[in-house]
Structure 1
Amino acid sequence: MIHPRSRRPVVAVVADRFEYHKHAAHAVLEGYVHALSKVAKVLPLIVPAHDEGVDAETLVSTIDGFVLTGSPSNVAAERYGAAPLPPSTVVDPARDAVSLRLLPAILEAGVPFLGICRGFQELNVVFGGSLERAVHDQPGRLDHREGDHDRPLARWYEDRHEIHVAPGGRLEQLSGKATVMVNSLHHQGIERLGTGLRVEATAPDGLIEAISVESAEQFTLGVQWHPEMRVDDSPLAQAIFTAFGDACRMRLSQRLQPRFHA
């Protein structure tokens, strides 16, 4: 019999759905797999964006953590009661259907959660919040987009602006600082904060950059930037994934407790 301490926690990561050689496909970018495997030290389990094939009850009983990643696609505006996005906007209705349905069940079950970029925005939508579709067009806002795509990929993820960390929150525990530099690769952002969410950090222009679930006893964190691409050189990125992995190990121990005896 395998003892829980020799197991890695299983973390569900919802895939993006896209077309590959005229076929529908499901995939997660390498940066998330790397950060979860190397730093969080968990086993990433890619969950397809296939609503009929993903049962929440089965998933909750199987996993120790849940991740919603960043993505080139945007949450459909209809999901938060706004007018449809322009036709040129990349959307992923299949991911919307799976992510927005699963997340409430995951949180209610006490499963640790980490949301990044789109995942951060999905968390806000689940709690009744709304999104600003073009932050850079709003007066007084910074341009939070990644910039020139012809640059080497690593330069997309360089630090762009500081964030102001809210005192007394989870992010302050992880960063140990009042301000910290982060990268920025998004054009949408939180417009109206969802009810029941706590602001963990803001950008200099006031845009919300990190949130958590106020009532959750387990680890919950959503960030607008991309720590998964900086785990090799950013102490904050390392701290985020390490803390998430620790929370997943605690969940694993609790989940398997009835099956094992000291």
Structure 2
Amino acid sequence: MKKIISIYDPNNIRKKIPKKLREKYIRFSKKNLIFNLNINDHIGYNFFINEEWNDIPSKIARKIGFNKDDIFIDIGANTGLVSVPFAEEFNCHVIAIEASKNNGKYLKKNIENNNLDIKPVIKFLSSDKTRHETKLFKFNGNYGANSFFKNWNPSLSETDYELVENTTLDNEIKDYKINKIKIIKFDIEGYEYEVIKNFKLINQIQSIIIFEYNVKYLKRIYKDQYNILLKFLDSNFDIYSIDKSDYGEIILKKINPDISSEVLAIPKKFKSSYKNLIN
């Protein structure tokens, strides 16, 4: 069954057939939440088939005692399949940042569908610029892989792009109490380092940081410096790879920079606040 599901996964099709897939949106309900999904795209297809979203942020939030007064920042929010369930579970404020205007359109719909306290920011989280526009390369069949690096994870079909408005992380959180921000999740297809290195408040935040670390694709961009983000964070953060037990529980392990994984970074000076994660 898994093999059949994989064959029809748009992410698989896009790497074997140069023809572009047309968007096909459906309305789908899961756990009293309503989503508009593009089932001709990898993320929407997999959610429709498996009825599962990335629950790592939620599981970590439970372990640290995240509550309704805390803030979750979802950077690379796509259509809201992390932000929406998170906001519903914790009844909290979420800042959902998504560069793609098309993904952002459905992110807004999914927020409206569920009447949640989520602020959508449809802009490029630039390294250090505001107001200007930047090219976002779009990969048909897996718009979750959209990237500011053209060679990140391309499809066989011609690569399109859209121009997106720039902002910065500092700019988007300037009106919030920084101590209320408890979790920041990055999923911006290799651009994490470019944003984090210019984040002026990086040494002041109490928040833990979750991000995807894909060695294969990072080598395409940074060559031998593929672990540059791990090195940058190392002085001020304890860094772990995230694994799951057979029962779905979060397990933190010593990170191996040569192996792809989900990564958790805990600020060293606030480590005592997250002892439930480490023990």
**TM score, norm. by length of structure 2:** 0.30
**TM score, norm. by length of structure 1:** 0.31
Higher relative contact order (CA 8 A, sep 6+): 1
